[in-house]
């Protein structure tokens, strides 16, 4: 037995899946996908073949000749789910599994019409990273097992389906009132990039290779917000090499989507909280786009190397930002990231093994280990290497790295070996081993400075001494500058200060959710009653975990806001994604009483 991925039953000594053929029907009333998946093997095989499943009902397993293949579902493991072991007769090239998903599948959120913008039709979206693809289909759910796929998805009219794949047509469904959407994904992907959304979905072209999808009522705003996508793709190609996925499309999901964005290839999934109305949050799109190179082309071999995906992508995102808006603007991004990093170091404790880049998460749920550490510590390591090698050499290294490992999944050790080969001496000078294997942030972490950053930081620090930014000063601020200012303020202010701050910056009505939530975190932590209504509104409407965690944590400070939080959560939690609900429960379990 050779299990290389602690979060999968996949056995490297067994046959490998090369391609999936999904045929599924979407049942909103039962909240299930049902149908079949065919797993095509890389080579004819025989003997044991282990798949990951979680919550799946397995109805039949057959070979290409239609004959039953002996199989057994092992007992449920809390994180991994149930191993499905098939016993393949010799010469097996493919297996067809009939199955259906559970209404509790973590990867699937089923929304009632009230939870959508249009209020008339239900909506479904998936979120498979890191290990939830196994709740959607039986498969080898490890990023090392890359697959191409074809899919036929049957949905009730007038709904439409999109996937992380190229569209391949629509035809009438098997029963009246349904349609079947066809997809073809020719590029091999890790299973966590399998993605599906179903709803009242329209689309708008943004460039010859890019289109945005959303509910009809959101389309106009979405198309405006992301109009700059082609420019971003062009900049990214200049930095990292050709875009290898043909098209770059996006979908703006309903607000319960638990992340800011998810890099599903050919169809990035996005939270509607990015629609600030001023294009100020498109960095999240730059991030998901950058995953097209770092993450989707070169993929972490398991969640223990997650920093390779996210650290590299944050670095790439900030390089795109710099190319578009200049160095000063990029420095603000690094500064905002530093705050997140400091907070996470404090949450885990700088000695915690979860603050290593290369982790050992066997026995730990990846969702519980999720944090900004791989993002911000990881991106800082790359920035340090850039400074050590010089930008030109490092840029060449990055492009060579992507070209060398494209369409493969690698470990931190493989990354390090390549670094040592291509940039001799740099890893040693930067003490890369400490970065990878030791907890905390190494002392040689790069520092990012700019005049604007220093001014904003000192202005925020002088708040408690009664100094205030002036209206003309504020009028020149970009949203990221206002955010840096807010992040520099104390987490608790007297009510009069809260009122003054809101008045000065017009915070309560902000469409930029980074600013709005930063303000509400201060207001909630300050027991500032005039903000309670807005706090409730945001926590009820939005399921993005990045906002739920700090807001509920801030509400934990005072008895009155703790009561408010309990009240809000009782009303809001049925609308939360299962992952969001878990985060909220964990934050509230730390409340004083
Ligand atoms: N791939 C992640 C989201 C993710 C990570 C989902 C781990 C499940 C498990 C995505 O690219 C991401 O990092 N999103 C961030 C964007 C931000 C860093 C710009 C988010 O959702 O906030
Ligand atoms: Zn990411």
Distance 338 CA to ligand 1 centre (A): 17
Q: Which residues pair with 406 in a beta bridge?
A: none
Distance 62 CA to ligand 2 centre (A): 38
Which residue has the CA at smallest separation from atom 19 of ligand 1? 284
pLDDT at 79 over 90: yes
- Among candidate residues 185, 365, 370, the one with its CA nearest the CA of residue 264: 185
pLDDT at 1 over 90: no
Ligand 1 atom nearest 546 alpha carbon: 22
Does residue 291's CB lie within 6 angstroms of at least one atom of ligand 1? yes
Band of the pLDDT at 593, cuts 50, 70, 90? confident
Q: Which residues surround ligand 2, an ion (CB under 5 A)?
A: 310, 313
pLDDT at 381 over 90: yes
Tell me which H or E stretch contains 87.
strand 82-100
Q: What are phi and psi of 85, to 5 degrees?
A: -100, 120
Looking at residues 115-137, what average pLDDT do you find? 98
* C-alpha to C-alpha distance for 485 and 456, rounded to whole angstroms: 5
The verdict on whether 344 is a catalytic residue reads: no
The verdict on whether 259 is a catalytic residue reads: no
For residue 258, which ligand has an atom nearest its CA? 1
Distance 521 CA to ligand 2 centre (A): 24
Distance 291 CA to ligand 2 centre (A): 7
Does residue 262's CB lie within 6 angstroms of at least one atom of ligand 1? yes
* C-alpha to C-alpha distance for 157 and 160, rounded to whole angstroms: 8
**Residue 331 CB-density burial (10 A; 0-12 exposed, 13-18 middle, 19+ buried):** buried
Question: What's the pLDDT tens digit per position in 352-369?
Answer: 999 999 999 999 999 999
Question: What's the pLDDT tens digit per position in 370-380?
Answer: 999 999 999 99
Looking at residues 309-328, what average pLDDT do you find? 98
Does residue 287's CB lie within 6 angstroms of at least one atom of ligand 1? yes
**Unique residue bearing structure tokens 């097992």:** 145
Contact 543, 257 (CB under 8 A): yes
Q: What percent of the chain clears pLDDT 70, i.e. is strictly above it?
A: 100
Q: Which two tokens stand for residue 476?
A: 């020149």
Residue 24: the pLDDT is 99
Residue 216: the pLDDT is 98
* C-alpha to C-alpha distance for 155 and 25, rounded to whole angstroms: 6
Query: Residue 186: helix, strand or coil by DSSP?
Result: strand
Question: What's the pLDDT tens digit per position in 168-203?
Answer: 999 999 999 999 999 999 999 999 999 999 999 999
Contact 229, 279 (CB under 8 A): no
User: Higher-confidence residue: 543 or 592?
Assistant: 543
Looking at residues 514-535, what average pLDDT do you find? 98
CA 232 to chain centre: 19
* C-alpha to C-alpha distance for 454 and 571, rounded to whole angstroms: 42
Residue 227: the pLDDT is 98
Q: Which residues pair with 179 in a beta bridge?
A: 155, 172
Ligand 1 atom nearest 263 alpha carbon: 11
- Among candidate residues 77, 72, 198, 190, the one with its CA nearest the CA of residue 141: 190
Question: What's the pLDDT tens digit per position in 385-443?
Answer: 999 999 999 999 999 999 999 999 999 999 999 999 999 999 999 999 999 999 999 99
Average pLDDT, the chain: 98
């Amino acid at each position: 037995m050779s299990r290389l991925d602690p979060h999968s039953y996949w056995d490297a000594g067994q046959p490998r899946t090369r391609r999936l053929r999904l045929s599924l029907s979407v049942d909103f009333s039962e909240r299930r996908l049902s149908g079949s998946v065919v797993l095509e093997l890389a080579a004819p095989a025989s003997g044991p073949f282990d798949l990951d499943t979680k919550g799946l009902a397995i109805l039949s397993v057959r070979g290409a000749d239609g004959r039953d293949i002996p199989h057994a579902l092992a007992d449920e493991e809390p994180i991994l789910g149930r191993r499905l072991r098939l016993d393949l007769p010799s010469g097996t090239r493919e297996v067809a599994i009939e199955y259906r998903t559970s209404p509790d599948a973590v990867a699937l959120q089923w929304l009632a019409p009230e939870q959508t913008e249009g209020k008339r039709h239900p909506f479904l979206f998936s979120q498979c990273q890191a290990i939830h693809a196994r709740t959607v289909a039986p498969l080898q759910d490890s990023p090392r097992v890359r697959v191409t796929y074809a899919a036929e998805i049957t949905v009730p009219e007038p709904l439409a389906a999109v996937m992380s794949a190229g569209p391949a047509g629509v035809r009438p469904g098997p029963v009246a009132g349904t349609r079947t959407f066809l997809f073809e994904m020719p590029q091999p992907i890790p299973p966590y990039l399998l993605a599906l959304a179903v709803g009242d979905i329209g689309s708008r072209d943004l460039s010859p290779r890019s289109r945005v999808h959303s509910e009809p009522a959101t389309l106009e705003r979405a198309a405006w917000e992301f109009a700059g996508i082609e420019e971003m793709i062009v900049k990214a190609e200049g930095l990292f090499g050709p875009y290898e996925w043909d098209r770059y499309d996006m979908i703006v999901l309903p607000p319960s989507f638990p992340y800011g964005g998810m890099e599903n290839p050919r169809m990035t999934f996005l939270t509607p909280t990015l629609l600030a109305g001023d294009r100020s949050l498109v960095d999240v799109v730059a991030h998901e786009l950058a995953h097209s190179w770092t993450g989707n082309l070169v993929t972490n071999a398991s969640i223990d190397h997650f920093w390779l995906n996210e650290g590299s992508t944050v670095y790439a995102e900030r390089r795109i930002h710099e190319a578009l808006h200049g160095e000063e603007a990029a420095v603000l991004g690094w500064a905002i990231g530093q705050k997140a990093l400091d907070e996470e170091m404090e949450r885990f404790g700088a000695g915690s093994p979860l603050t290593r880049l290369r982790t050992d998460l066997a026995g730990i749920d990846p969702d519980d280990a999720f944090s900004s550490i791989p993002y911000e510590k990881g991106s800082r390591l790359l920035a340090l290497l850039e400074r050590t090698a010089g930008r030109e050499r490092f840029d060449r290294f990055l492009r060579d790295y992507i070209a060398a490992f494209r369409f493969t999944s690698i470990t931190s050790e493989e990354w390090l070996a390549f670094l040592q080969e291509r940039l001799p001496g740099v890893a040693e000078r930067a003490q890369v081993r400490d970065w990878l294997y030791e907890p905390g942030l190494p002392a040689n972490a790069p520092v990012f400075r700019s005049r604007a950053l220093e001014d904003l930081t000192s202005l925020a620090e002088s708040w408690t001494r009664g100094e205030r930014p002036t209206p003309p000063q504020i009028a020149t601020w970009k949203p990221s500058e206002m955010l840096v200012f807010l992040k520099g303020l104390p987490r608790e202010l007297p009510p009069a200060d809260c009122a003054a701050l809101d008045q000065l910056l017009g915070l309560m009505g902000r469409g930029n959710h980074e600013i709005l939530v930063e303000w509400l975190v201060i207001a909630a932590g300050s027991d500032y009653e005039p903000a309670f209504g807005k706090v409730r509104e945001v926590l009820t409407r939005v399921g993005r975990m990045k906002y739920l965690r700090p807001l509920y944590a801030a509400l934990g400070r005072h008895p009155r806001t703790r009561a408010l939080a309990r009240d809000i959560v009782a009303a809001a939690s049925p609308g939360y994604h299962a992952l969001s609900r878990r985060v909220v429960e964990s934050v509230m379990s730390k409340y004083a009483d």
